[in-house]
Each structure stands twice: as C-alpha cells, then as structure tokens.
Amino acid sequence: MRACAPPPAPPLPAPARTPLGSISRRCLPLVGLVLLAAPAAAAADAAGGGGVSFLTSFLRSRRRADGGQRLLAPVRISRRRLRDAADALLDAVASPAATASRDGLPPPKAYKRVLATVRAASLECFTPDALDGALALPGSLSPPGRNCALGAAARDVAAALPPRDAPLARAMLDTADSAVRAFNLLDDVLDRAVEGDRRAAATAPEAMERALDVVASLETLIAAGVADEFEPQLMVQGQ
C-alpha cells in the first residue's frame, strides 16, 4: 500500500493592502492637503537648508488658516465662564439669605452653582487628585497643567515663537502654570464652602479675583504670541 501523502499546505495570503476607500471621508480632505503641501514644503526645506520640517510647515499653515483663533478660543472661553462664576458669587453674597446671616455670608448650598461654573471654566485644569508637591513645582507647567486646554494652548503658541520672543514664551508658560494653581485653589475654597467651612467661604471672593486676574493675563500673553505670527487685530478681538 502506498502511504498517504499529506495535503499540500495552503498558499500564504498576500499582504493586506489598505484601500483608499477605507479611509474616513472626513480624513480625505486632510490627506489631500498633505499631498498638495508636500512639494512646496520640500522645496522650502531645501531652500532653507532643512531648518523647518515638512510637518512644522504644514501645521503652521493650518494655524494660519483661521488666523490663530483656535489657539485663542480656550482661554477666552475660560475667562467668560469664570466671569459668569464671579457674577454668581456676587449674587450669592448680595442675596437676602446672606445679609440675614450673622457672618454676612450665603448658605453653603449657594456655593454649589459657583463651584460647578468654576469647574466648567477650568477646561479640565481642575485636578481633585493632584498632589500638593506637583502643584508647587515652579518654573514650568506642572503635571495637572498638561491635561488642561489652557496649558496646551500656551505650549502650542510658545513653541511657535522665534528665539527673540523667548521671554514672552517663558512668561506664557509660567502664567499657564499659575492659572492651574489658581483654579485648584479656587476649587478647594469653594468645595470647602459647600461643606460649610465659613472661613473658606469668606476667602472665596479673593480667590475668585485671583483666578480672574491670572486668566486675563494668560489671554493677553497668548494673544501677544498669536499676534506675532498672525494679525495684530487679534489682540482686541473677543473683548
């Protein structure tokens, strides 16, 4: 009897190719922009000795498409929401319940709305589990700041500034770090006020004013950095 030969092994499948049709329709315009921008960016790299990468050139062109408004949007949204929180705090302090109390402060529940608005204004800069040591790091964005939109906007603008604007970039990053601290301090004060801590409640207006000042300063610095690359009128827009 002849021994049964094993069946031949099946052929290896051909490497899978990603069809163009599998790319999301929303990504196609971006892919097209990259393909169209590649020759011009390569020529610019060659002319400039390769000092600016294609990716850097492409990202800068995208930023110029909206005049830098996206870079300014987070801090302007934060400032407007924080102003709403400050108005809510003023309303609470001036309420009949506050004037009728022995210490002239509103009841703890009045701080809940203020706290919720502050957390919305922080744009994820509020970090309830942040370590005090991390928040005390001087000179650079602390780890909590790296998760918030304000810190991201400051880093993006600072990274695009030329070397001659290094002091502006440093001030921008330091102020973004201060904004993180101010939001966390204000959040802590309001949270304790909600729990009935009257000493904390008494310091809420001061902490609110500090946060407003820091965010306003950050907006001014980011606008100055954006105006250095884009249009001067951005300094006065959104006021």
Structural domains in the chain, sorted by start: 67-235 (1.20.120)
Average pLDDT over residues 124-130: 64
Residue percentage of the chain with pLDDT more than 90? 44
For residue 22, the model assigns a pLDDT of 46
**pLDDT at residue 23 in the model:** 45
* pLDDT number for residue 132: 43
Q: Is the pLDDT of residue 130 over 50?
A: no
- pTM comes to 0.66
**What pLDDT was estimated at residue 45?**
45
42-46, 103-107, 155-159, 183-187, range with the lowest pLDDT: 42-46
Model pLDDT for residues 8-35, shown as the tens digit of each residue: 655 655 555 544 444 445 444 544 544 4
Q: What own/partner pairs with CB < 8 Å and gap ≥ 24 does 204-211 have?
A: 204/89, 204/111, 204/114, 205/89, 205/93, 207/182, 208/82, 208/85, 208/86, 208/89, 208/118, 209/86, 210/182, 210/185, 210/186, 211/82, 211/118, 211/179, 211/182, 211/183, 211/185, 211/186
Q: What is the pLDDT of residue 212?
A: 97
